[in-house]
Amino acid sequence: MLSTFHGLEVAKRGMMTQQAALYVTGHNIANANTPGYTRQRVNFAQTEPFPAPAINRPQIPGQMGTGVKADLIERVREYFLDIQYRGENNKLGYWEARTDAIAKMEDIMNEPSDNGLAKTMDQFWQALQDLSVTPENEGARSVVRQRGLAVVETFHYLSNSLTQIQTDIGTQIGVTVTQINSLAKQISDLNKQIASVEPNGYLPNDLYDERDRLIDELSKLINVQVEKHQTGGNAPATAEGTYDIYFLNGDEKVYLVQGGNFQFISFPKGQDVDGDKDHIKEMPPSMGVDLIQIGNTQVSVMDFPMGKLRGLIEAYGYVSGQDSSGQPIVTGIYPDMLDNLDKLAYTFGTLFNEVHKQGYGLNGSNGVAFFDGIDPVQVKGTAKTITLSADINDLAKIAASTGDEKLGNTGNPGNGNNAINLANVGSMLLSADTVSLIGTTNTIQIKELNLPLTSGTIQTNYQGWIGKLGVDGEQANRMKNNSDVLRQSVEERRQSVSSVSLDEEMMNMIKFQHAYNAAARQITVIDEMLDKIINGMGIVGR
């Protein structure tokens, strides 16, 4: 037989459960603008019916419901969308870093413009053409010297500016590594807190939200995967457990976080200037990054996953192999351009000097170099070291003329043929064997000069590098925009599932309020019934 107060208990449970739902709705509304917050809901579940199946069960027509209970308060979130978001966020981080690095380089190279290296060299060639017309004119000679000085200073400016940006990127790498380590530590701390709450039968939804927000942030820096582990105890079936964070090095999992433990990303000793074991604050631009250490595991940069950190390293420079002498080969956006500038400065200065040495100055001087600071066995650094020769301070030593047989091959001041040869240095066709001197029958052996550029011309090589820079910049910007659009699309779908809709919460509030009022009204009805039984029965005959 049912208890007299059965209806009161059913109604009371209804009121309490609807009240809990109203409180959760209020929590959602309060956090509508909280970053990373996932809306929550109460899972309503029927309580155990009465009576329970047993031999001595009451003889009633069937089981009667005993009401409702708030089974769990859980997040409304789709894990698959999280995976998609982090994948697109990772690509965006990589392409943003690459786009930013290339954009800074384009600002420095500043091509095409009236202030770039190409224009400065064109003005130098034009000054030599003008000198060929009036080789004895001191003003024309002075212009050649000043234009040559402008070329040298432009090489210095480009090389120094690119090196400074490269150094800044090295510093940014250190900051990014520190950020990754900080995020890994915070995630491991959250794992500890979650592991202490779940076994008690609760879902720490706010801790889940914070952990997912940190993983989202980490995914932009490095391509990580998530591995779930149940905490045990009385943890609900829907408990998310602790997260292990790892990335793949080939087929091997390299863990950043395992439960409450984490490992720092660092660079092996020798790659960081300050000897810091956890990160770098500044790296020497000539070195490049070779290995990255995670705990006791070393990973080659070539195998390191995508993300902002990988994009920064590719811009800064990394070791891609060794040359024939066993020296590391540093590759990257900035090392490659600096290397190209050094090759250009070396080839330009060496060829120009060879042509200049074959000419004669106004005073009959011969064999004078126009440029100095060029190491005959070391190409690297030439863009920084190339200078005008001190001999050119004497304008008469600018070798504008070629040998004159009538004068015993001592040069003719009125002959501007060598100035024409000098003006054509930029368009000399380079090959693996020889370089022809325009307007003469002489040749220069490239093997003897050990020129680093052996195809095209000085001008076409530079144009090719600038063209490639433009194409790379366009591709990086396009990929960044594509990744941003895809990430935004996934984020919108994720928000449609997980974010707080004030309109929806207001409807829920009204729905739960009406259910609460109805349960309260039921208590009033039962109270009237009990009042009739208690106060209105058993008074017949009084």
pLDDT digits (tens, 9 = 90+) for 294-331: 888 888 888 888 899 999 999 999 888 777 777 778 89
E-strand ranges in 273-347 read 291-294, 297-300, 318-322, 328-331
Query: Which of 56-65, 233-242, 333-342, 413-422 reaches the highest mean pLDDT?
Result: 333-342
How close are the terminal C-alpha atoms of the chain, in Å? 31
Task: Tell me the mean pLDDT in the region 45-51.
Answer: 84
Distance CA 356, CA 372 (A): 12
Task: Tell me the mean pLDDT in the region 377-389.
Answer: 92
Are 337 and 105 spatial neighbours (Cβ–Cβ below 8 Å)?
Answer: yes
pLDDT at 443 over 60: no
pLDDT digits (tens, 9 = 90+) for 386-439: 999 999 999 999 998 886 655 545 556 668 888 998 998 888 888 766 666 554
Are 236 and 198 spatial neighbours (Cβ–Cβ below 8 Å)?
Answer: yes
> Residue 386: what pLDDT?
95
> Residue 511: what pLDDT?
94
- Name the more confident of 393 and 283: 393
> Residue 278: what pLDDT?
43
Q: Which residues contact 297 (CB under 8 A, 6 or more apart)?
A: 249, 254
- pTM of the entire structure? 0.86
Q: DSSP string of 117-154?
A: HHHHHHHHHHHHHHHHHSTT-HHHHHHHHHHHHHHHHH
**527 — pLDDT class (breaks 50, 70, 90):** confident
* Residue 2: other Cβ atoms inside 10 A: 12
Distance CA 174, CA 176 (A): 5
E-strand ranges in 86-224 read none
pLDDT at 340 over 90: yes
pLDDT digits (tens, 9 = 90+) for 70-99: 888 999 999 999 999 999 999 999 999 999
> Residue 283: what pLDDT?
46
> Residue 436: what pLDDT?
62
DSSP 393: G
Q: Is the dihedral of CA 272, 277, 279, 281 positive or negative?
A: negative
User: Comparing C-alpha atoms, which of 42, 48, 49 is closest to residue 18?
Assistant: 42
> Residue 166: what pLDDT?
92
- Name the more confident of 304 and 117: 117
> In the chain, where are the structural domains located?
6-76+500-536, 83-107+170-330, 117-135+334-456
Q: DSSP string of 429-498?
A: ---SSEEEPTTSS-EEEHHHHT-S--SS-HHHHHHHHHHHHHHHHHHHHHHHHHHHHHHHHHHHHHHHHH
Encoded tokens for 265? 């990303």
Helices (H), 317-373: 333-357
Where b means 16+ CB within 10 Å and e means fewer, 442-453 reads: eebebeebebbb
pLDDT digits (tens, 9 = 90+) for 163-221: 999 999 989 998 999 999 999 999 999 999 999 999 998 899 999 999 999 999 999 99
User: Comparing C-alpha atoms, which of 44, 58, 53 is closest to residue 14?
Assistant: 44
pLDDT at 238 over 80: yes
Three-state DSSP at 412 gives coil
* Residue 287: other Cβ atoms inside 10 A: 18
Q: Is the dihedral of CA 216, 222, 223, 228 positive or negative?
A: negative
Residue 388 to residues 144, 368, 457, 473, 520, Cα–Cα distance (Å):
11, 12, 22, 34, 97
Question: Taking phi first (over 0 means left), then psi (-120 to 50 degrees means alpha), and beta for anything else, what does residue 110 get?
Answer: left
Strand order in the sheet with 261-262: 225-229, 242-249, 252-258, 261-262
Distance CA 67, CA 519 (A): 11
Q: Which residues contact 369 (CB under 8 A, 6 or more apart)?
A: 353, 356, 357, 389, 391
> Residue 302: what pLDDT?
80
Are 516 and 103 spatial neighbours (Cβ–Cβ below 8 Å)?
Answer: no
Q: Which of 235-244, 435-444, 488-497 has the lowest mean pLDDT?
A: 435-444
Q: Which of 30-34, 54-58, 326-330 has the lowest mean pLDDT?
A: 54-58
> Residue 437: what pLDDT?
59
**474 — pLDDT class (breaks 50, 70, 90):** very high
> Residue 530: what pLDDT?
85
Half-sphere exposure of 172 (CA within 13 A, CB side): 20
> Residue 275: what pLDDT?
38
pLDDT at 284 over 50: no
Q: Which residues contact 89 (CB under 8 A, 6 or more apart)?
A: 216, 219, 220, 487
Are 430 and 446 spatial neighbours (Cβ–Cβ below 8 Å)?
Answer: yes
Radius of gyration (C-alpha) of the chain in whole angstroms: 39
> Residue 505: what pLDDT?
92
Question: Taking phi first (over 0 means left), then psi (-120 to 50 degrees means alpha), and beta for anything else, what does residue 232 get?
Answer: left
> Residue 290: what pLDDT?
79
Distance CA 89, CA 82 (A): 10
